[in-house]
Amino acid sequence: MAEKLRTAAGEGRIDLGELDERLDRAYSARTYRELDVLVADLEQRPSGERPETEVLVLKTRLNSIEQSGRWTVPRRIVAECKMLSITVDFTQATCVHREITFEAVCGSGSIRLIVPHGWAVRVDASSTNTAHISNKATGPADPTAPPDRHRPSAVRSDQDQTAPPG
């Protein structure tokens, strides 16, 4: 059930706030009926059909945002951080795409991407006023990545990418 909810969030059918709320309800459910209600509005698409727009939108308002743990990576992520911070940790995420696009708009806050070893990160041309862009992910993509966890050959972004220590 939790995986269905995470997939729906990764596909943009529910936002992160709604995902957290539904996961809390799922983990406290006592009956199958309580669980069924949580996914009833998340219609199943026919096998192989992709949503028109696979986008995860992360916008800071009053709190910083951290997208981490087990989650499904959409084809495109848009992060907008005027203040505070956004951290996107891909180390436990499932990604079926060969390449994803990460679009970042950052004011005085910060955006940080944490990618697992074996992911390649390419920073496309970008313009900044006062922002700092650094890419600490080195090396080519790992062609031997496990088949059940396809890894992108590139994460395109215009903000900070950090490979995990180790």
Alpha helix stretches (DSSP H) within 32-79:
32-39
Cβ-Cβ contacts under 8 Å for 122 (sequence gap 6 or more): 154, 155, 156
The mean pLDDT value for 139-162 works out to 48
- CA 6 remoteness from chain centre: 10
pLDDT of 152 over the 60 cut: no
Of the two residues 159 and 70, the one the predictor is more confident about is 70
| pLDDT at residue 162, rounded to an integer | 52
The mean pLDDT value for 30-54 works out to 69
Helix (H, G, I), strand (E, B), or coil: what is residue 77?
Answer: strand
Sort strands 110-114 and 65-67 into parallel, antiparallel or unpaired: unpaired
φ and ψ at residue 86, rounded to 5 degrees: -130, 130
Contact predicate 166/117, CB 8 Å: yes
| pLDDT at residue 46, rounded to an integer | 47
| pLDDT at residue 47, rounded to an integer | 47
> pTM for the whole thing?
0.55
The mean pLDDT value for 60-84 works out to 88
The mean pLDDT value for 22-48 works out to 78
Among residues 102, 96, 99, 103, which one has the least CA distance to residue 141?
Answer: 99
